[in-house]
Structure 1
Amino acid sequence: MEREQGVATLTHIVVLPVPMQGHINPMLQFSKRLASKGLKVTLLTTSSIIKSMKGQASSITIEPIADDTGDIETAETMEAYVDRFKVMFSRSLGDLIEKNKSYGYTTKLVVYDCILLGTLDVARQHGVGGAPFITQSCTIAAIYHHLYQGRIRIPLEEPAVSLPSLPLLRIDDMPSFISQPELYPALLRLCVDDFRNFHEVNWVFCNSFDKLEEEVVSWLSTQWPITNIGPTIPSMYLDKRLKDDKNYDLNVFKPNVDACMKWLDSKEIGTVVYVSFGSLATLGEEQMEELAWALKRSNSYFLWVVRETETKKLPINFLEETSERGMVVTWCPQLEVLAHKAVGCFMTHGGWNSTLEALSLGVPVVSMPQWSDQATNSKFLMDVWKVGIRVKVDEKGIVTREEIELCIKEVMGERGTEIKGNAMKWKKLAREALDEGGSSDKNIDDFVAKIVHT
């Protein structure tokens, strides 16, 4: 074992995420898992992101890519940003390989965010292999693969889509890049082009676990080497085998940790609705108002994350009128909140990271999807995994206060017992996947064994 560990520590892996919090967090957590198995892992990201990190990921090395790629949020197009990022990465990768070679480390592989097109070609130019990392679900990967293969035609003409290994999907269950292609043509191309070289690699990593998406994983394994390694949640919330892995090491917002947790501590078990729509989703003023008054009318306690740039959309006097039952913060430690006994429901946009966190911590959901993969995730949360309810949108595209109130009361009321039972089942299965001998743990072990001896 000691000899194997010695060989492993001389094997170097580079991890390259898109420099956005929702993409970095899962790849950073995967990096920690690889390091715990004995590999030397370097995560490459921009210096501006590194400044936002807490510096607690001591098991891995974090190196900067030059920041003259600009800010991803202000780039003229995502495609242009990816092209610039590729140039800077190529230079950084070459320097990193040479530096590690001088220390006796052999760089074997670049694990890269799958939307960073061309990374595999860059890695090969430096004599290194590549493996894409999918930060969304296997289901979303399968849908885009079907589109790439021509099994889905855009614009969608039928009211529902039937695809191998997937439930019948209505148009509004599909990713918004497909259901509304005229709004996101560049992002759709980026997602579909991901798959052009998946058949050329030995691993396609995905932030999921086998039992969560059994049928689609079985089907995908006939297309390319899908390898589930998730859920990529800090170890203390799952198997507890990684010491000091208590949180994500990146937070671009300053969380109100003490205020949130002290407030939750004062509430009884399962009485709080936690509301958060992630780091990117933006609600219109009318929708914000409907949500605000729905929370007030629900008669539940609520903890609502409203980003600082969004607080101006809150109704006049809302904070004063709800001060006894609600707390509004600009950010909070989501994992700690979801794990708190007082939280009985998570109202979410249904992003994949938030979806996995809810499933891994056994929290029922009310899902209000906004864009991208969120509608599909919400379909599965409600109809496949049966851990929550998806709100219905009216003819104006608004979710009314009455609809939101109804969904919250349903999840927090009598039906909530059945939903909570399903949520706890998935919590157990998520933990098992990453515990010793679990499906994701074995996949990671198999990968380490093979990469060390290639």
Structure 2
Amino acid sequence: MEKPNILLVTFPSQGHINPGLQFAKRLTRLGVKVTFATSISAHRRMTKNAPTTESLISYAPFSDGYDEGFKSGIDDLGHFMTSMTHFGSQNLKAIILEKINQGSPFTSIVYSILIPWVGKLAREFRIPATHLWNQPATLFDIYYDYFRGYGDIITDHISDPSYVVNLPHLPPLATRDLPSFFSPSNQYSFALTFFKEQFDILDEETNPKVLVNTFDALEAEALSAVGKYNLVGVGPLIPSAFLDGKDPSDTSFGGDLFKGSKDYIEWLNTKPEASVIYVSFGSISVLSRTQMEEMARALLDTGRPFLWVIREGGVEGQEKEKDKLSCKEELEKQGMIVPWCTQVEVLSHPSVGCFVTHCGWNSTSESLASGVPVVACPQWTDQTTNAKLIADVWKTGVRLIRNEEGIAKAPEMKRCLEVAMESEELRRNAKKWKDLAREAAKEGGSSHKNIKEFVDEVNGKVDLHQ
């Protein structure tokens, strides 16, 4: 029988491509052919920085109308999303039709968040489609409740910092713990429209399966909170070498949109165990100049070695961000500043003692799978909820407190750094989740079983079409 061929489509940003590619690798290990589709601009940068060698993964980049890429601070994000829906639908449709005409149609489609139009396209072609939710299950539940009866309560109280929202099956959430898309000052209200569309698509199916980048032990209640959907944990979706060890050659996501060097690993090798503070704010978040100065001062005040990722703006002739810091020379004596790195490799290094993070979900799940305590510095989207889970539910980190201007001052940052580096309780909890994450991913573990079950279902669907 012909192997099932799954079309896996992701939104073209690092936080979506990474888990998507890892899921593709998991599927190929179970004998499934995967065609990975994202925008032309993202694919171009992926292959330039890390050419893939996965023989069972093929690529089908499509134009989203922004073939030179979305330029943050220059392009309008709302226009980009509209363009992606229009041109993405058009061009992905052509890819699907081409496969049908070749006599080897896609047997199933998997698609990530923010691209509900892929689900509509699958329905148009009567191809079974499954949603890959690349955020925690808790966020899925919050958005579900928002669109199904709790929207007014949240909207009416979102500006009151003392208000606590009680949603079904979830811990009490202060307004600061909710996704930033609910805030009246949020400029990205279109995101809620995309999430609502996604739930509307799911509601047209009977007990639809949703694949979630989490694992059963981590979010047991959240995974079963919405009875009408079958949420299954398939995570953490990070490279095998740092998780189940089944494929020691799988040491990177294979989809980096940014260039980095490897000097930092040699530098980490010279440092004592659990002595280094690792600082990174992901592929999108940008710290204000004031916040960077406070961060720099806090790092210097700890006297500890640090590895700090400061992305370069990418504008030709622009002064590098690190060169604008007033204490640059002091910083480079005490630590190392790099423009990008393979994060999961850094977090798995024995010399790393804590992780200062924006709490994007990939960074959060990588910290859990690596057993590294966290200083949580959330900025927007799901990061605020992830920070709540880190500090109060999983208890693997400390969340910093900002002043009225939204700045975390150096003394507060230093306090959090010392707690994360010294707390035995945080380290114990971090190790517990690391062990449970590996347990879930290994053969016979909950996530491995859930992925295998999904593949069996896809195979069953193939049989039906023979």
TM-score category of the 2 structures, normalised to the smaller one = over 0.9
Structure 1 residues 249-285: Cα deviation after superposition (integer angstroms, max 9, x where no partner): 111111121x101111111111100000001001111
Q: Which amino acid in 2 is paired with 1:235?
A: S
1:231 counterpart = 2:227: no
| Partner Cα separation in structure 2 for residue 232 and residue 447 of structure 1 | 15
1:353 to 329, 349, 362: 362
Report the equivalent of 1:307: 311
| Partner Cα separation in structure 2 for residue 204 and residue 331 of structure 1 | 32
Report the equivalent of 1:49: 42
| Partner Cα separation in structure 2 for residue 359 and residue 120 of structure 1 | 31
Report the equivalent of 2:347: 338
Report the equivalent of 1:292: 296
Report the equivalent of 1:183: 187
1:373 counterpart = 2:382: yes
Inter-CA distance 67–170: structure 2 relative to 1 (3 Å threshold): closer
1:429 to 425, 431, 436: 436
Indicate the larger mover: 67-76 or 328-337. 67-76
Report the equivalent of 1:4: none
Report the equivalent of 1:329: 338
| Partner Cα separation in structure 2 for residue 328 and residue 120 of structure 1 | 42
1:161 to 165, 174, 183: 165
Report the equivalent of 1:386: 395
Report the equivalent of 2:405: 396
Report the equivalent of 1:96: 99
| Partner Cα separation in structure 2 for residue 180 and residue 400 of structure 1 | 26
| 3-state secondary structure, aligned to 2:99 | helix
1:121 counterpart = 2:120: yes
CA contact (8 A) 2:32 2:56 kept: no
* Unaligned ranges ≥5, structure 1: 1-6
Report the equivalent of 1:3: none
| Partner Cα separation in structure 1 for residue 190 and residue 231 of structure 2 | 26
CA contact (8 A) 2:398 2:420 kept: yes
Q: How many residues align?
A: 439
Structure 1 residues 324-355: Cα deviation after superposition (integer angstroms, max 9, x where no partner): 31111111111111111110000000000000
Query: 1:115, CA displacement in angstroms?
Result: 1.7
Structure 1 residues 5-56: Cα deviation after superposition (integer angstroms, max 9, x where no partner): xx3x521111000111110110111011111111111111233323322222
1:140 counterpart = 2:126: no
* Unaligned ranges ≥5, structure 2: 314-318, 462-466
| Partner Cα separation in structure 2 for residue 375 and residue 80 of structure 1 | 26
| Partner Cα separation in structure 1 for residue 193 and residue 38 of structure 2 | 24
1:265 counterpart = 2:264: no
Query: 1:187, CA displacement in angstroms?
Result: 1.9
CA contact (8 A) 2:114 2:191 kept: no
Report the equivalent of 1:443: 450
Report the equivalent of 1:61: 58
The TM-score, its normalising length taken from structure 1, stands at 0.92
| 3-state secondary structure, aligned to 2:362 | helix
| Partner Cα separation in structure 2 for residue 198 and residue 72 of structure 1 | 29
The TM-score, its normalising length taken from structure 2, stands at 0.90
CA contact (8 A) 2:300 2:331 kept: yes
| Partner Cα separation in structure 2 for residue 186 and residue 437 of structure 1 | 40
Inter-CA distance 328–69: structure 2 relative to 1 (3 Å threshold): closer
Inter-CA distance 242–199: structure 2 relative to 1 (3 Å threshold): farther
Structure 1 segments of 4+ aligned residues over 4 angstroms from their partners = 313-317
| Partner Cα separation in structure 2 for residue 295 and residue 108 of structure 1 | 52
Inter-CA distance 363–156: structure 2 relative to 1 (3 Å threshold): farther
| 3-state secondary structure, aligned to 1:223 | coil
Give % identity: 38
Indicate the larger mover: 431-440 or 357-366. 431-440
CA contact (8 A) 2:210 2:232 kept: yes
Structure 1 residues 95-137: Cα deviation after superposition (integer angstroms, max 9, x where no partner): 13333x2xxx452211012321222221122231111111111
Inter-CA distance 182–41: structure 2 relative to 1 (3 Å threshold): closer
| Partner Cα separation in structure 1 for residue 445 and residue 429 of structure 2 | 20
Query: 1:69, CA displacement in angstroms?
Result: 4.6
CA contact (8 A) 2:41 2:66 kept: no
Report the equivalent of 1:37: 30
| Partner Cα separation in structure 2 for residue 12 and residue 322 of structure 1 | 50
Query: 1:316, CA displacement in angstroms?
Result: 4.5
Inter-CA distance 365–314: structure 2 relative to 1 (3 Å threshold): farther
| Partner Cα separation in structure 1 for residue 181 and residue 64 of structure 2 | 29
| Partner Cα separation in structure 1 for residue 432 and residue 204 of structure 2 | 36
| 3-state secondary structure, aligned to 1:274 | strand
1:240 to 245, 252, 259: 245
Report the equivalent of 1:109: 108
1:80 counterpart = 2:64: no
Indicate the larger mover: 434-443 or 86-95. 86-95
Query: 1:67, CA displacement in angstroms?
Result: 5.6
Q: Which amino acid in 2 is paired with 1:61?
A: S
CA contact (8 A) 1:306 1:328 kept: yes
Inter-CA distance 380–128: structure 2 relative to 1 (3 Å threshold): same
1:250 counterpart = 2:255: yes
Inter-CA distance 437–181: structure 2 relative to 1 (3 Å threshold): farther
Q: Which amino acid in 1 is paired with 2:121?
A: V
